[in-house]
Amino acid sequence: MKNRIQLLLILFLSTFSSLKAIDASVSFATFKGIDQSYVEIYLTIIGQTVDFQKVDSLNYQAREEVTLLFKQGDDIIKFDKYALNSPITTKTLDFMDVKRYALGNGTYTLDVSIRDLVDTTNVTTFSTPLVMNYEGEELLQSDIQLLSKIEKTETPSIFNKNGYYMEALPFNYCGRKMSVIHFYTEIYNADKALNDDYLLSYFIEKVDGEGNGRTFYIGHKRRKSSPIDVVVLPLNLSDIPSGNYRLKVDIRDRNKVLISSKSTLFQRSNPYLDKDINEINEFDIANTFVADLSAEELRYSLKAIAPIHSTLEMERLNFIIASNEPIRQKNYLFNYWASQNANHPDQAYEAYMEVARAVDNKFKSGFGYGFETDRGHIFLKYGRPNEFIAVEDEPIAPPYEIWAYHRIDKLNQSNVKFIFYNPNNAAGDYELLHSNCRAEINNPQWQLELYRLAPDQIEGNDYLNGTKVKDGLNRQAARYFNDL
């Protein structure tokens, strides 16, 4: 179980701390089969971090190459390489896969590589220990699989097992809207090891810096002994606050003697229930940089850090801003900058806010702060572009700007470009029209939108499905975008 916990901790850190190239959830669970034990590999690809290629006039598809290696030392015990295609779709979406491999008892290293077949420079890798241990006739437990969706079915699918359609919980992360999830596990040899009914107990405990913390949820089920007992049970997370947790499943005999135990980690986000959010890292903020911030300055500073928050972190930040509780907001702001620079959070705050104020002043519009505009958001998120061009004099196009970054390290991507336009010709009201950035909007028909006043200049004369306009003196955006 230690190996599985290590894998999930690695995934938590890699997923939530920063943007990755291909953002993918990779997890596994091992099971005892009738003839041979096996491991299931669960993949979820985040659609916004891969490229979708046009397959016809309306539809797109992403194509990924997945490579899996099961190694013992330098020896490759099992190898698989295959193409994973997304569903054909009209819009970007996340997509999943599950693979099952027979594997003998022993300790392995699982290496996973995922490469985008549209943009072959976009690659991500994972590596983790994996242990198969299903020897003997004593009572055994499979690993625990957390599920975001489960339903009984008879329809064939790679996601089906024992009469259930099951989708693994990506990143073992339970967002605010997920009030109920399920877990799946299997118990083996209870008929031989116990020859009697047994008690299955499960509980959720908070994981803190010292180890185990408060227990939030306890359930008990009496089970009949059988060669294989399939267990599928719900977990109501409505009253579970945000934090890191361990789900533990214990097996006890009739006399309540512990026979076996397995556990798995997960993360919960429940900002509306975070009554103790003020108490996270309780520092004396009386003499810190947040102490004298007015309500207006505090709100301004919190909104300014939105561009450097991940999508997952934004749930809590929005809740903090909406709370209008100064103590809570000051604690959050101080803790955020202390996490960036533990020794000098005030310096980290001031250095960032100097840039944020300049961005606000530069890109201010009539619809919010400058850092809340698309240009301001991108500037704070990725930094100053290496090159840019502003065009205001093309008669059949609204004003537009093209920004180019030689490289964005946090995305592991080079030659990144953005095009912003001002469709309403309002002061400062530029919108992000298109980008080749993996984590931002990608609009194949951006040229048609920019030059919508010139429908007769579309390449191919198909305004509905076309993607390009003819080059010309008054239609230079595509050339600028490609050449910059």
Reduce the DSSP state of residue 375 to 3 states and report it. Answer: helix
Res 273: pLDDT? 64
Same domain, yes or no: 300 and 325: yes
Res 12: pLDDT? 36
Q: In what order do the strands lie in the sheet with 211-223?
A: 173-174, 258-268, 243-252, 198-208, 211-223
Same domain, yes or no: 298 and 187: no
**Domain assignment present for 376:** no
For the chain, how many structural domains are there in total? Answer: 4
Res 19: pLDDT? 36
Contact 399, 422 (CB under 8 A): yes
Same domain, yes or no: 129 and 24: yes
Give the end of a domain, one of 85, 115, 133: 133
Structural domain of 25: 1-133
Give the end of a domain, one of 133, 156, 175: 133
Res 141: pLDDT? 97
Same domain, yes or no: 2 and 127: yes
Same domain, yes or no: 157 and 267: yes
Distances (CA, A) of 174 to 48, 181, 182, 240, 269: 20, 8, 11, 10, 6
Same domain, yes or no: 249 and 309: no
CATH of the domain at 13: 2.60.40.10
Give the end of a domain, one of 234, 256, 273: 273
Q: Which of 439, 443, 405 is nearest to 423 (CA)?
A: 443
Q: For the chain, how many helices (H) and strands (E)?
A: 9, 23
Res 226: pLDDT? 94
Res 442: pLDDT? 86
**Domain assignment present for 379:** no
Other beta carbons within 10 angstroms of residue 148's beta carbon come to 18
Res 61: pLDDT? 95
**Domain assignment present for 63:** yes
**Which residue do the tokens 């940089």 mark?**
289
Same domain, yes or no: 141 and 119: no
**Domain assignment present for 283:** yes
* DSSP calls for 432-471: EEEE--TTS---TTHHHHHTTT-GGGBGGG-TTT---B--
Same domain, yes or no: 7 and 78: yes
Same domain, yes or no: 181 and 243: yes
Same domain, yes or no: 177 and 194: yes
Q: Are strands 38-45 and 173-174 parallel, antiparallel or unpaired?
A: unpaired
Distance between CA atoms of 41 and 414, rounded to whole angstroms? 31
Same domain, yes or no: 334 and 252: no
**Domain assignment present for 247:** yes
Beta bridge partners of 432: 420
pLDDT tens over the chain, length 484 residues: 334 433 443 333 333 333 336 889 999 999 999 889 999 999 999 998 899 999 988 899 999 999 999 999 999 999 999 999 999 999 889 999 999 999 999 999 999 999 999 988 888 999 999 999 999 889 999 999 999 999 999 899 999 999 999 999 999 999 878 889 999 999 999 999 998 999 999 999 998 754 457 888 889 999 999 999 999 999 999 888 888 999 999 999 988 999 999 999 999 987 656 544 444 445 567 778 999 899 999 999 999 999 998 876 888 898 889 888 888 899 899 988 988 887 788 999 999 999 999 999 999 887 789 999 999 999 999 999 999 999 998 888 999 999 999 999 888 889 999 999 998 887 778 999 999 998 888 888 888 889 888 766 666 665 555 667 777 667 888 889 988 8
**Domain assignment present for 356:** yes
